Structure 1
Amino acid sequence: MTDGPRAPRAGRSRRLLAGALLLAVSVVIGVTVAVSLFLSSSRTVVLVGHDTVVRPTTTGDAVVQTGPLLPDFRFRDVGPVGVTLTLGKTEVGSIEELVQRYGFIANDPTAQVGKVRAVVVDMAVSAAVRGLAAGLIPVAVYLLLGPHRRGELFRGVRTGRGAVAAVLLVSLPVLLWQPWESDERTQDEQESWQTLADLAGPDVTLPAEARDIEVRVGPVTTETKKLVLSAVDTYDRSKAFYSTAAEEAADLDVRQPEDGETLALLVSDRHDNIGMDRVARAIGEAAGATVVLDAGDDTSTGQPWEAFSLDSLAGTFDDWDRFGVAGNHDHGSFVSSYLADRGWTMLDGEVVDAPWGGTLLGVDDPRSSGLGSWRDESGLSFTEVGTRLADAACAAQEDGERVSTVLVHDANLGREALNRGCVDLVVGGHTHVHAGPDAVEGEDGEVGWTWTNGTTGGAAYAIAVGSKPRRDAEVSLVTYADGRPVGLQLVRLRTDGSWLVGDWAPVTPAP
């Protein structure tokens, strides 16, 4: 009578023990595979203007490997997981220009740091999912075998053949790992790390945040001290200029929207000047803007190496309503597709609803590397695209939805739509010189307006990267009420750091 209850309890105990053992094996396999895959993984992204290979490490440091001509840099204790960034190809005119670009980007590295963090997290999640899959393999095998086959397998382990199989199974990970293999000694091992403060010496004053950055020094890289200090100087001056401008922008005397009004911030011709992004955001916040309109020329060539500029733009306005078009310098489709992937509404010739209750229309500049695409049609001239734009605006008006704003890179692209009297306002950039508001009377007496924003990046021609704007930098504030534009205001940051806030110019839309 006493043996009856013990047998079921003993069976349950064996099953629980087997389940616990199986779970432990699964966890060990899963964690081992996940960690191994994570630490051996890499991703190639565009970072600081380079094709960059990102590799996670266990050191907790961030190491930037710049190549054979410049020294490597190391940032200590960046987090529980470190990272090695190996910089690859880029487009640059000279080493001096490249080093100055590094210093300028370091002035506001938020977008680049966020990009690296997102890549590392994505690699960790991917490795964890694969580790989970590997950890489930023993569970799947255990269930597929069934009690009878499992019993035969366990009994077979006690035989000589089973023992050999078990040893081979245990040895397999070691054979794959091959810990006895060692790399040859490299030049990196012959060099040491030195802080920027030690490298510069007591006669050079460094920014506090840069003093502890470490540089790999050796017989070759010692000659690059002048370039490194040049980058630090660019960083220091640009950070001071743009940080001061952003602080002052918060106190500018700009018109505030009244009840029922919506304010949009218009930027154009940034040309890679990420320093102005936080200044533009500060101006918009001071005025109460919630929408950003981008009239294009965010880059100088439209190439992937300029993704750092788009990352900055996207990160700066990530919580606003965002609309944009590509400019003539944003060659190809890279800029539009990159911003679209990051949540921007890139206008393509179709009327869309706007956050202010009206409608918005726009299209990329047709001179963007000969694009001029209209839906699936290509090779259209500037005039032809302007005609198509006017056709779309007038068709919308016939349907009872008058277009409140046409957003283009060059305001001349919307001239025909204004001449036909089908739009309230055309805004653009391109010329790097402010113009407007100018009234345009349409065919039936309807009045529309045109406004050209200066260069937000303070660009001279297509170049804006530097420790401060090369010419006055400008943004515009567009006020909407009842779904239509009612006023415009310019805000200009001069090259000497002073401000010009234009008067708010009311515009009266057609009845």
Structure 2
Amino acid sequence: MSLPRRVLVGVLLACLAVALGVTVAVSLFLTSSRTVVLVGHDTVVRPTLADDAVVQTGPLLPDLRIRDVGPVGVTLALGKTEVGSVEELVERYALIAGDPTAPVEKVKGVVVDMAVSAALRGLAVGLVPVAVYLLLGRHRRGELFRGIRSRQGVVALVLLLVLPVLVWQPWEADEETQEEQGAWQTLAELAGPDVVLPEEVRDVEVRVGPVTTQSKRLVLSAIDTYDRSKEFYSAAAEGAADLDVREPEEGETVALVVSDRHDNIGMDRVARAIGEAAGASVVLDAGDDTSTGQPWEAFSLDSLSATFDDWDRYAVAGNHDNGPFVSTYLADQGWTMLDGEVVDAPWGGTLLGVDDPRSSGLGSWRDETGLSFDEVGERLADAACSAAEDSERVSTVLVHDANLGREALRRGCVDLVLGGHTHVQAGPDAVEGEDGATGWTWTNGTTGGAAYAIAIGSKPRRDADVSLVTYADGRPTGLQWVRLRTDGSWLVGDWSPVTPLP
């Protein structure tokens, strides 16, 4: 074969491969779906050629549509969730919408992943003709092309061309559904001229065909909750920048302590703003990020991870983070989940922690069942004292309930124990241990402003706390609490110096 002919054949094969690959990739992408946990629901994500985002909420609530979201649209079909009433469900939607960054980024990531997967499969299919051409060789290709001119070859070629049409079946059409009969109406049109809406939601559209008066009331109630929630937490985040908190001196590292969030994602940006005002670069999560530890609460973990994605992140699970879901989910999102082993800390010291034994894990002892709270505390103290004997004294123990670290303090093996659980701030309290050693214990309040295990609301149900820990030369040197009150005002505690011994 001459060189020009080889070039021509190569170009034709490349064009065929590209055309086939792109066709298959686009087809796979537009017909693909992915199930993820989103806004508390098992949600089926499907990409579309429209540039709209459509949220299908099910039979009880109207569907929503946001126009012009990008070059690729998406349909989100909400499935099962755990909720006590429709009103509670709508309120949850409104609160999540108050800070939608995490779910939006999650959907974007899913769509991009689906596009990459479809592209790789399309590439593989596109290379099939090239591989077949090369495998046949010149002699067999000649026989094949000569065979096409025969009657049998023509029949085979026709069947080959008809096969994709039989698979596609373009003559099949779906019946017109109730959903398609509904018309889209903006929230501003639905609410009427007498209702003042936030500017950012006026153009969100609702499918109004089957919307009843009760559904309209729920929608307007959700908008009111959204507006109050966004206003409260936005004002709090802005106000946090001006708080009189201690800033780190040269050589110091500040860690932000959060605990008992109980799904209140509105406080995440507020906590971040407090940390930034104090120069924090580390977040220590003492657990109870959820109320039940179930997958529907992934929205809370998504928000927490997105808020602190560029910080050093360490966490343990609390007693309400029941089961393995919370620890596994946060670990998959890049958090260092403390599991009873001493780890190096960003401030130059060492860090030790373990999940609450009343919840999900028991660190390196998790294969053992039936260990009591005190037994886990003994194991934690053993790990801390073993590290101290190796000249790696633990600067901080992070647990959900500070009482889990009392044995380690009694033995004089740790500098500081951090916890939460009680929803009431306490400390710093010095604890004199063996051989003249002194450690400290500190309990953070509830960062979510939770009453019992419930924190979701347009504002905190009770005062919401975070704590700031200052480290120097690998050891804690001071503590400070910051409290957002339910009326939006602030209380800032004095910076309390701590001096662990030896």
Same fold (TM over 0.5): yes
Task: Describe the SS at the equivalent of 1:194.
Answer: strand
Correspondent of 1:150 among 124, 141, 152: 141
| Structure 1 residues 237 and 166: CA distance shift in structure 2, 3 A | same
1:172 to 160, 163, 168: 163
1:112-134: per-residue Cα shift (whole Å, max 9, x none)?
Answer: 00000000000000000000000
Which of 21, 35, 42 lines up with 1:30 in the alignment? 21
**1:372 touches 1:379 (CA, 8 Å); kept in 2?**
no
CA distance in 2, matches of 1:422, 1:289: 26
The answer to whether the aligner puts 1:214 opposite 2:180 as a matched pair is no
1:195 to 186, 190, 194: 186
Q: Is residue 426 of structure 2 the alignment partner of residue 435 of structure 1?
A: yes
Confirm whether residue 19 of structure 1 aligns to residue 10 of structure 2.
yes
User: 2:180 is matched by which residue type in structure 1?
Assistant: E
Match of 1:51 among 36, 39, 42: 42
Contact 1:372 1:381 in 2 (8 A): no
Instruction: Determine the structure 2 residue equivalent to 1:64.
Output: 55
The question of whether the paired residues in 2 share the 8 Å contact of 1:53 and 1:85 is answered with: yes
Match of 1:235 in 2: 226
User: Match for 2:165: what amino acid?
Assistant: V
| Equivalent of 2:386 in 366, 375, 395 | 395
Q: Give the C-alpha shift of residue 377 in structure 1.
A: 1.6
Q: In structure 2, what is the Cα distance between the partners aligned to 1:97 and 1:392? A: 44
CA deviation profile, 1:41-95 (whole Å, cap 9, x unmatched): 0000000000000000011110000000000000111011100000000000100
Tell me, yes or no, if structure 1 residue 341 matches structure 2 residue 332: yes
Residue identity matched to 1:152 = E
Equivalent in the alignment of 1:279? 270
Q: Where does residue 4 of structure 1 map in the other structure? A: none
**In structure 2, how many angstroms separate the alpha carbons of the residues matched to 1:161 and 1:368?**
70
TM-score by length of 1: 0.97
Give the conservation status (yes or no) of the 8 Å contact 1:71–1:221: no
* Separation in structure 2 between the aligned mates of residue 383 and residue 297 of structure 1, nearest angstrom: 20
1:378-414 CA-to-partner distances (Å, cap 9, x unmatched) read: 2211010011111111111111111100000000000
Pairing of 1:288-307 with structure 2 (within 5 A): 288-307=279-298
Q: Which runs of 5+ in 2 are unaligned?
A: none
Residue 469 of structure 2 is matched in structure 1 by: 478
Could you say what the CA RMSD is over the residues aligned between the two structures, in angstroms?
A: 1.2
Query: Stretches of 4+ moved more than 4 A in 1?
Result: 369-373
Cross-structure match for 1:265? 256
Distance 2:227 2:387 in 1: 51
% same residue:
82
- Residue 177 of structure 2 corresponds to 186
Name structure 1 gaps, 5 residues minimum: 1-7
How many pairs are equivalent?
502
- Aligned mate of 2:216, from 222, 225, 230: 225
CA distance in 1, matches of 2:212, 2:320: 36
C-alpha deviation, 1:376, in angstroms: 2.2
TM-score by length of 2: 0.98
Offset at 1:369?
6.3
User: What is the distance in 1 between the residues matched to 2:446 and 2:485?
Assistant: 11
Aligned match for 2:441, one of 441, 450, 475: 450
- CA shift at 1:365, angstroms? 0.4
Cα distance 1:369–1:26, how it changes in 2: closer, same or farther (>3 A)?
closer
What's 1:363 paired with? 354
Within a 5 Å distance, the mapping from 1:120-159 to structure 2 comes to 120-159=111-150
Give the alignment of 1:84-95 within 5 angstroms.
84-95=75-86
1:384 to 348, 369, 375: 375
Q: State the Cα distance separating 1:420 from its structure 2 match.
A: 0.8
- Which of 301, 304, 313 is equivalent to 2:304? 313
SS at match of 1:496: coil
